[in-house]
Structure 1
């Protein structure tokens, strides 16, 4: 309806004035003229203001209407691919319980109701659980029943009636494949999937009149404004759920009048476009609910998983109240960091629900008495953020990130959630020990002042923080089972698992592998074997016009030693001498075939002077752990559509690098470092299963090792490439041991068997003195493996002949002495090989020298014991193995 405003003219006013008499003065006439001008100006200004206001309002209304239409048209939440873990395999005899299996199935999207889900359903049976995969399952639709007895899988019955030896459960969801830098997790839920108790809790604390207002609660807004003015701050808010939604989708969280006006405008737009149920559903999927490691938690569905490890529909009253309370300030109210605050807020929500009449006082009191029952707190690395980044990069280069997400592919990966958690925990424990060692090295006492005023202060030299990487793979499939790329993803996204660093002595096994390979490629009679003697003496090596002078740790040299002992004790000079003997080219070619592509055929190569990544070294070590076959580490197993159709399947690339007999001999030799050599830290840390491994030290600390079913590489170092001055035995081996101990507690990895040997490999018992076949007359023995035909042929008593003398023969003495390997702090270990062989005359001379030193030492206190303590130093100053004079021990 148009409103017409007519302004009276001066003549009209004059007539009205005249009708009241002509006694008006000239001054009154002039006043009316002035009144006429003010009325006209006032009305004109009002009209202009109205026009401007409605023009501005119309402009912004249309503007935000277009923005809302564009943002809300089609799929509101960006589609994303989903990343899944490897399936859990249950074998007959594995440790398991019905409740654990049911929990795994629920996490994988299965339901225990009759309808089930697209992934499947399950039913609990007496003594077992029956599983029915759905149409979108990773597996076929064949059902199975798993029976449990005495805490173990006693039988697996297939759906067709036959028994199965194993059954794979549905893979668990790891995360959505986020787009760009938006690292958030979200599980989309429909309004009818949100339990009433969750809706009631949210409305009670956030917006009680949600179903009555039109997007803006003017009364509450005015009340909040008055409170803000009275208390001189902007903390009251007064936003409805619709206004919060508009802010979350379209605006920044800053608190200004302009933003509040825009928020109200968009809220009105949303109310006109969507129903209340749709608005609540959008809100339930969009609202920030805190942080889990490096990922943001978005929406109630993901929050139910993150905080309680359950589906949203299974939330209880106190759980729903806790989530509703977190909406206000998720970080400040985090139940993990601030349980008291979270508990108080939850109870406030329960009181609010009583006020709105959705629950009774008795129900509220009972819920208040319920303690916080949270899922296990997240260790950031358990979410495998570095692994997810690698998967994202791999798929992005193959398909394109946009296509992957728009098609909502399901990415089935190799990651094992339980093993990933074990890796995260091991790194957390191990890096604390490294930090303590680094701090100790940087701390020194400084004398300040002189005379009576002198005092001693503690000074800590500044320096970088140690970083760490751990890669664990299945040595027989190449699948990456666990990966930690750094100590804290939130602080640094640099993935150290794929960062190139000098490998140090974990490269040495490839020198010895090339040497042992001579049993296959050359004359067996001239082959290098584990019992072959290598000279560990100071030596100058010439390569072209370059001079290379490696040094042993502490400049300790051992003379003639067996190859087995040289590897166990990581002797530098013996290793370079062996590489020279075998041929640098042969060593380099073998290493390149194993995947260490940066090596060059130089003497420094033998000590690990060239770079490789922890992931590359994991692949290289499969040559030893997998019977000579190199497997490329793989992260992705299968890419499928939402209906389960296969887009791509992936397998590790394999390459024959070593004869399986040589690989078995190397595995036997690599048990030496763990059992009595530089890697004995592993045993000291309580890991007792059969294992093979090697320490490494350059600028950084390494440990590479494997069991019959698991291969793991650990690296520790500084980002700025400075020397960490900690050996692999001190910094990396403890992390490896912590990981392996945890892995062994997982049913899939607990059966860490001894290493088998292929046909063509023999294990023989050798005399420690002569390194020949042992007989009862030579009782000090050790066991070693050889390629058949290359083992020693003579017996120890044949080699000794009559040198033992009559008394030695009578008392069973050998007449020759063995210098045993350096002792460990826990004493000697069985099957130690000899360090070197010494004749009776030489030993007599050594004994006389010792006596002389002991005698003069007693007199002058000058000489110290010349016994060699082979225990590796807890902290070392070593030179770079790239340079001449390397003293890197292991």
Structure 2
């Protein structure tokens, strides 16, 4: 008998055999449970496989998209320093030359070049990948100096350029990441062993997952409620670093496993380790993240990765776990303890012997200097990056670039170290002079050093600390202060060279008298009565040389007025100060320019009148050595060479007798010319025969650096000492040790010794001192201090001579002449104005001011018998514009 069951709406009937129903009902319970489990398990497996397959394919697509969307690592541009030039006579040894070549990659990279040292002789052979041609050289350094240089064919060479060194790599992205890509073959064996010993001992054996560690960490994290267990393999760390966020969750862990399996199926172990070695974060350097062992090797040890020993490899492997915690600069004890743990792990794995491990653990930390500004010139490199964007744009992305620049790494270190040493002293000066309750402002700084004859920027410091502020103050526009003043004197000399007289005074010379009495240089109906640096100090008539040496504002403006403010502004614009306008204040630097602009301005004086735009980029090449772009400097003649020399001669006097004497007191004695400057900021601009340097100090908020100080901060006591410290370091470097007197005197100019007391030619009878000044032929004084007619001469009023005995004093306002013999035996000056200050007190001469002599007795307010006590009109309102 069968049972008919009606099912569904189609009217179809299905019959069930009662025997089958009885057999199912009669099965034991355990069999039915087992069947349920098996069927359920199969269903779960099928479902799991479907889910796994879906996500596996999904993340396969994710990996494909990442791998197919360009290389894993963005193309990095390597920035190279300028080639170091070896010249005969330099103090150098074969060993030091070899060290430079080793840093550049010679011997470790034969494609780049090789060298061989034999005693005091080094033989250099560039390879096909060298920046230079493949011409080699042999250099003999017997006795500790370069005796001779011979080309491969035996020909004698005066100089030979070494391979440029890598400074750094350019920042890859907005996250300010730095890395130096390495291949697996470039990674030392001990580096691989150190990483696997501490991070993943079974790396070369497993398929990307260490199930034992996964299970252990899963249990541990479940029990503690924290995802803190480090159970990831190297491949998992790559999966996390390239494709995932740092978030810790079960979902992210499952995705990480999917990507790990994808990576293991696509790449071999060497390729995976290479990815890891370039991707892993190893801390921070300045404002940049250090990624990869190649960059870390340079950041921590200043070496190429291939050059690391066992202890150094172990240190890098050890800090992978917690880079900031194990930072060897901040926490050397922690770093050494972690390093030694890695070394012991390497011994346990049999990677090194016990004796090797003991020696490595006993090795002290040998870290590179931490001063990132000194070693990597980050402000300079940022400028290189910006200029590349402007000049070659998207070509940067077409492969790895080699960028060759003008930087001198040794000079960069000297610049950075000088700033680092001197700025704390300036901070202390500001602390001591601070008054009131306002917060103390510590100023920023910039230093630019360049070759005055090529315009190459050799060193650049753009701020106190790049890690704290990436604002490049070398490119910040600020009032130039008194370092502008030489342009006023150059304008006057230009007119003399062109045959123009300075009013009715004849040609302008270093001893032309200038009026430093209070004056109103009104323009457009507006009064303008500037003062000198020291309020109320007016030396009266002074020679032009003294006016520049002591940075006298009124005398300089009066000279600018006589030569024409329009002409001064035009001269400034031609020299690179685009903001200059024809107003009286232009003469004392109230218009703004950047320190980089001012470096260009001073090339005019240092380079026989030729202006050179400071430049950083020399050449850009691709990774095959093909030229992408070459750059040439821009030059233009701004001054007649005679004018440049005459102005330079006056600035030499500033160093010897004027406001820049600080430089000489600090031990820099090489021939040099320069000028101090003080406005809201402080400056020093100066140069030797082979190096030009600009130093600027000021506040970021553009306030006066001397606000809330008991005494004003000057360029002479802040910027000038930094300049001196830098130049003292530079002259000790072989490539700058030959600072010589300036270029030969141009035709049509002669040097004369001038008597300080009279501004006449000095002879053996002159009782006072003398100084050397340059004159256009025919414009020099023709009398001597002992044969100048009756009276004491043109310097009487300046140096305090009694007017009753001075028969030949100077006049102000351009009357008279400049002391050229007019045929009557005198030096041609008319009577001087009354030699008094606005309050009726006698002028003190410039040396009385310098040494505090000739002041009135502050305790005696009664007039002297020869000075009637008559009421005096108040002096005009003064605008003190410091030097």
TM-score bracket for the superposition, by shorter chain length = 0.7 to 0.9
* In structure 2, C-alpha distance between the alignment counterparts of 1:86 and 1:441, rounded to whole Å: 42
- Are the structure 2 counterparts of residues 854 and 334 from structure 1 closer, same or farther at C-alpha, using a change threshold of 3 Å? closer
Higher alpha-carbon deviation: 128-137 or 754-763: 754-763
> TM-score when scaled to structure 1?
0.84
Counterpart of 2:420?
428
Counterpart of 2:65?
70
Structure 2 counterparts to residues 141-160 of structure 1, below 5 A: 141-160=134-153
TM-aligned CA deviation for residue 330 of structure 1 = 2.0
- What are the superposed Cα offsets for residues 484-514 of structure 1, whole Å, 9 maximum, x if unpaired? 1111222222211111111111111101111
* In structure 1, C-alpha distance between the alignment counterparts of 2:724 and 2:830, rounded to whole Å: 33
Give SS of 1:797's match: coil
Counterpart of 2:484?
507
Matched, 1:362 2:350: no
TM-aligned CA deviation for residue 394 of structure 1 = 1.1
Tell me which of 84, 101, 105 is aligned to 1:109: 105
- Are the structure 2 counterparts of residues 347 and 17 from structure 1 closer, same or farther at C-alpha, using a change threshold of 3 Å? closer
* In structure 2, C-alpha distance between the alignment counterparts of 1:264 and 1:837, rounded to whole Å: 98
TM-aligned CA deviation for residue 363 of structure 1 = 2.1
Matched, 1:739 2:719: no
Counterpart of 2:516?
536
TM-aligned CA deviation for residue 291 of structure 1 = 2.7
Structure 2 counterparts to residues 337-736 of structure 1, below 5 A: 337-400=330-393, 402-444=394-436, 460-523=437-500, 526-553=506-533, 554-725=535-706, 726-736=713-723
Matched, 1:94 2:100: no
Is the 1:109–1:119 Cα contact (8 Å) retained in structure 2? yes
- Are the structure 2 counterparts of residues 888 and 180 from structure 1 closer, same or farther at C-alpha, using a change threshold of 3 Å? same
TM-aligned CA deviation for residue 837 of structure 1 = 13
* In structure 2, C-alpha distance between the alignment counterparts of 1:463 and 1:254, rounded to whole Å: 43
- Are the structure 2 counterparts of residues 574 and 338 from structure 1 closer, same or farther at C-alpha, using a change threshold of 3 Å? same
* In structure 1, C-alpha distance between the alignment counterparts of 2:685 and 2:715, rounded to whole Å: 9
Is the 1:469–1:716 Cα contact (8 Å) retained in structure 2? yes
TM-aligned CA deviation for residue 182 of structure 1 = 4.2
Tell me which of 712, 735, 738 is aligned to 1:751: 738
- What are the superposed Cα offsets for residues 331-380 of structure 1, whole Å, 9 maximum, x if unpaired? 22122222111111111011111221222222211221222223333333
Structure 2 counterparts to residues 764-783 of structure 1, below 5 A: 764-780=752-768, 781-783=770-772
* In structure 2, C-alpha distance between the alignment counterparts of 1:261 and 1:689, rounded to whole Å: 70
* In structure 1, C-alpha distance between the alignment counterparts of 2:648 and 2:134, rounded to whole Å: 42
Counterpart of 2:871?
none
RMSD: 3.4
Is the 2:300–2:368 Cα contact (8 Å) retained in structure 1? yes
Large movers: runs of 4+ above 6 Å: 9-13, 17-20, 38-49, 813-819, 836-843, 845-850, 853-856
Is the 1:204–1:353 Cα contact (8 Å) retained in structure 2? yes
* In structure 2, C-alpha distance between the alignment counterparts of 1:435 and 1:550, rounded to whole Å: 30
> TM-score when scaled to structure 2?
0.85
- Are the structure 2 counterparts of residues 313 and 855 from structure 1 closer, same or farther at C-alpha, using a change threshold of 3 Å? closer
Is the 1:80–1:404 Cα contact (8 Å) retained in structure 2? no
Is the 2:652–2:672 Cα contact (8 Å) retained in structure 1? yes
Q: How many residues align?
A: 805
Higher alpha-carbon deviation: 262-271 or 190-199: 190-199
TM-aligned CA deviation for residue 166 of structure 1 = 0.6
- Are the structure 2 counterparts of residues 442 and 571 from structure 1 closer, same or farther at C-alpha, using a change threshold of 3 Å? same
- What are the superposed Cα offsets for residues 375-424 of structure 1, whole Å, 9 maximum, x if unpaired? 33333353111111111111111211x42232323211101111111111
TM-aligned CA deviation for residue 71 of structure 1 = 2.5
* In structure 1, C-alpha distance between the alignment counterparts of 2:567 and 2:605, rounded to whole Å: 17
Counterpart of 2:818?
none
Counterpart of 1:763?
751
Counterpart of 1:180?
173
Matched, 1:15 2:7: no
Counterpart of 2:211?
218
Is the 1:135–1:643 Cα contact (8 Å) retained in structure 2? no
Counterpart of 1:307?
300
- Are the structure 2 counterparts of residues 463 and 63 from structure 1 closer, same or farther at C-alpha, using a change threshold of 3 Å? farther
Higher alpha-carbon deviation: 427-436 or 52-61: 52-61
Counterpart of 2:7?
none
* In structure 2, C-alpha distance between the alignment counterparts of 1:284 and 1:278, rounded to whole Å: 10
| Contiguous gaps of at least 5 residues in structure 2 | 1-15, 707-712, 794-801, 810-828, 865-875
Give SS of 1:786's match: strand
Give SS of 1:254's match: coil
TM-aligned CA deviation for residue 126 of structure 1 = 2.8
TM-aligned CA deviation for residue 46 of structure 1 = 7.1
TM-aligned CA deviation for residue 795 of structure 1 = 2.1
- What are the superposed Cα offsets for residues 60-92 of structure 1, whole Å, 9 maximum, x if unpaired? 322321222233346332222221110000101
* In structure 1, C-alpha distance between the alignment counterparts of 2:78 and 2:226, rounded to whole Å: 44
Is the 2:93–2:120 Cα contact (8 Å) retained in structure 1? no
- Are the structure 2 counterparts of residues 71 and 565 from structure 1 closer, same or farther at C-alpha, using a change threshold of 3 Å? same
* In structure 1, C-alpha distance between the alignment counterparts of 2:62 and 2:129, rounded to whole Å: 36
- Are the structure 2 counterparts of residues 328 and 789 from structure 1 closer, same or farther at C-alpha, using a change threshold of 3 Å? same
* In structure 2, C-alpha distance between the alignment counterparts of 1:240 and 1:818, rounded to whole Å: 94
Counterpart of 1:831?
none
* In structure 2, C-alpha distance between the alignment counterparts of 1:361 and 1:713, rounded to whole Å: 56
* In structure 2, C-alpha distance between the alignment counterparts of 1:701 and 1:575, rounded to whole Å: 19
- What are the superposed Cα offsets for residues 775-798 of structure 1, whole Å, 9 maximum, x if unpaired? 222232222111222111222223
Counterpart of 1:870?
none
Is the 2:580–2:591 Cα contact (8 Å) retained in structure 1? yes
TM-aligned CA deviation for residue 253 of structure 1 = 2.5
* In structure 2, C-alpha distance between the alignment counterparts of 1:250 and 1:379, rounded to whole Å: 31
- What are the superposed Cα offsets for residues 67-126 of structure 1, whole Å, 9 maximum, x if unpaired? 2223334633222222111000010111112222111112212116xxx52211111123
Counterpart of 1:787?
776
Is the 2:538–2:843 Cα contact (8 Å) retained in structure 1? no
* In structure 1, C-alpha distance between the alignment counterparts of 2:145 and 2:364, rounded to whole Å: 32
Matched, 1:273 2:269: no
- Are the structure 2 counterparts of residues 862 and 842 from structure 1 closer, same or farther at C-alpha, using a change threshold of 3 Å? closer
* In structure 2, C-alpha distance between the alignment counterparts of 1:889 and 1:560, rounded to whole Å: 19
- Are the structure 2 counterparts of residues 39 and 681 from structure 1 closer, same or farther at C-alpha, using a change threshold of 3 Å? same
TM-aligned CA deviation for residue 49 of structure 1 = 6.2
Matched, 1:203 2:196: yes
TM-aligned CA deviation for residue 653 of structure 1 = 1.0
* In structure 1, C-alpha distance between the alignment counterparts of 2:350 and 2:877, rounded to whole Å: 82
* In structure 2, C-alpha distance between the alignment counterparts of 1:197 and 1:862, rounded to whole Å: 86
Counterpart of 1:876?
none
* In structure 1, C-alpha distance between the alignment counterparts of 2:854 and 2:880, rounded to whole Å: 30
TM-aligned CA deviation for residue 188 of structure 1 = 2.4
Counterpart of 1:5?
none
TM-aligned CA deviation for residue 465 of structure 1 = 3.9
TM-aligned CA deviation for residue 562 of structure 1 = 0.6
Give SS of 2:736's match: coil
- Are the structure 2 counterparts of residues 818 and 304 from structure 1 closer, same or farther at C-alpha, using a change threshold of 3 Å? farther
